[in-house]
Chain A
Amino acid sequence: MEYNLEITDLEKKYQDFHLNHINIKLPQGKIIGLLGQNGSGKTTTIKALLNLISYDKGNIKIFGKKSTELTKEDRENIGVVLDDSFFSPILNVNDINKLMKHFYQHWNEKLYYDMIKKFKIPCNKPLKEFSNGMKMKIKVLCAIAHEPKLLILDEPTNGLDPIFRYEIVDLFADFVSNKENSILMTTHITSDLEHLVDEVIFIDQGRILLDIPKKQLEDEYGIIEVLPEHFNTIKKEEYKKCLKYKNIYFILVTSKQEFQKKYPKFEIRKPSLEEMMLLLVKGE
């Protein structure tokens, strides 16, 4: 299997935060979602792999090369969306196109304007007059219009309304459909990942809590909602995490078939990514 991105034992220490043993392997044709609450280490991971910050330990390889040794040609194959950073808001869509033509040898002007047209983005208005959703769309278009092989997206759906989110998520699904491209995206909006990702990584306080293919998660993981009197009948070793909310215990099990055999009276349902995140982070 060929990997577009490999992060091995990445560590970065700050005074009050420690990104600890981050391991991510992103194969071609796949989408990995890095999921965690604000301040969990998602953006630090992205910054490290883009060489925006130095890191203390570990190894990052992109297209099989160390990230610090990538040539300009290699970097042409990467598209990036950063949540909090872009061109000056006084530029407009046409200005950005002219600049990108200078920065990327393979900038596809036609594709850029086709998508601008598709998303109904005005060309002569400065960015400062756009909504957050529109700005994010332009960021995404800029990341895609040079036809990269790897997309690194930091909170790409932040600030978008559901319709915009649907359109952009659809764009990402289309991007990986050639089985060569891949996407690493961070988000704290779990619903965006539900139907998109192939693998999901839950991260909290700089540590990976769970790294699991989406299919395995759907097949094996389950959630049971029980009242306190029933909760006491379940052994601790039978479940991974539990969380009490409004006098109901939410229990996360990692092998729903086995659990069902032992406790046939409980109804097990598929967990959403939001519930997974909540239980993994807040559960006991």
Chain B
Amino acid sequence: MYTIKGLLQKDVYVFKNFKGNIIFSIVMFLFLITMASFQMDCFLAGSILFLIFFGMNSISTFSYDENADSDKYLLSLPITRKEIVFSKYLFVFLNSFLSIAIGILVSFIITLWVRGTVNRFADSLRICCLSFTSVSFLMCSNIPCIYKWGVEKGRMQSVIIPAVFIFVVGIFGGILLLLFPEIYQELDLLSLFKISPIICLLLNILFYGVSYMISYHIFAKKSL
């Protein structure tokens, strides 16, 4: 666990390098959310903004590792391939989670301060969960591509793979709709939305679990 802590710290140091940009962005976002809140309820938009802007930044740590060929060096220390891959996933998850958590907190405080109340707070939180899961899906499809093809080529592939996945799921759903229209009539979307945090939790476990196993499988065989 001590090694994992060190590996996480290594990636935090990369972020530390952008601390000026990060602080500037946070101040700018806080200002924008505050201004916009005078016109409308910005709780949801603010939370998602933080998630997308800061949560997806963790991929940049792969670039820094690749440029310095750090994985090769790390493997010459008492560190295993499993620990390297695990720490990356943990970092990506923690970064996304903290981003949305901070986004929710600051947006909540600003909205409450400016407007006195947050409209449909519970529903907004559910949408935050869905957004978080969507980001997890993108990140989890991105990471194995990076391990397989490197950061540059991997990024291209990681656009294609989710697109193909969504296309296939869309086609499959469309066929189901044509063949069994009664399924959709019986589907209670409101009930599903109410239990969406649980569905999101399960989907996140699935995405991270499957993606980690694929990445580890790739990295374990990789010649460095």
Seen from chain A, the residues whose Cβ lies within 8 Å of a Cβ on chain B are: 47, 50-54, 72-73, 75-76, 78, 80, 82, 84-91, 95, 98-99, 101-104, 126, 152
Contact = CB atoms under 8 A, between A and B. Distances in A.
Nearest to A139: B73
Contact of A102 (B3, B14, B69): B3
A146 to B, nearest CB: 9
B37 to A, nearest CB: 36
Contacts, number: 80
A52 B223 contact: yes
A80 B76 contact: yes
Interface string B12-44: 011001000000000000000000000000000
A85 B65 CA distance: 10
Given A52-B224, A85-B70, A88-B68, 14 more contacts: A50-B76, A52-B223, A54-B223, A86-B69, A87-B68, A87-B70, A88-B10, A89-B67, A89-B68, A90-B17, A102-B5, A103-B77, A104-B77, A126-B17
A121 B10 CA distance: 21
13 contacts: A53-B223, A73-B78, A75-B77, A82-B76, A84-B69, A87-B73, A88-B13, A88-B64, A88-B68, A102-B3, A102-B9, A103-B78, A126-B17
Given A50-B75, A104-B77, A88 B70 contact: yes
A282 B80 CA distance: 41
Contact of A82 (B5, B9, B67, B73): B73
B6 interface: yes
A101 B2 CA distance: 9
Interface in B49-91: 64-65, 67-70, 72-73, 75-80
Contacts of B64: 88, 90
Contacts of B78: 72-73, 75-76, 103-104
B151 to A, nearest CB: 13
A102 B10 CA distance: 10
A80 B13 CA distance: 23
A99 B72 contact: no
Most chain A CB neighbours (cut-off 10 Å) among B3, B7, B70, B76: B76
A99 B87 CA distance: 14
Contact of A80 (B3, B77, B80): B77
B6 A102 contact: yes
Interface string B135-164: 000000000000000000000000000000
A90 B76 contact: no
Contacts of B10: 87-88, 91, 99
A126 B14 CA distance: 11
Interface of B: 2-3, 5-7, 9-10, 13-14, 17, 64-65, 67-70, 72-73, 75-80, 223-224
Contact of A53 (B5, B68, B76, B224): B224
A99 B6 contact: yes
Nearest to B61: A88
A154 to B, nearest CB: 10
A75 B83 CA distance: 15
A76 B67 CA distance: 26
Contact of B70 (A73, A86, A98, A101): A86
B219 to A, nearest CB: 12
A103 B6 contact: yes
B70 A51 contact: no
Contact of B68 (A78, A85, A98, A101): A85
Contacts of A88: 10, 13-14, 64-65, 67-68, 70
Interface centre among B13, B64, B69 (most CB of A within 10 A): B13
A50 B79 CA distance: 12
A16 B9 CA distance: 40
Contacts of B70: 85-88
A7 to B, nearest CB: 16
Contacts of B77: 75, 80, 103-104
Contacts of B72: 52, 82, 84-85
Nearest to B77: A103
Contacts of A86: 68-70, 73
A82 B64 CA distance: 17
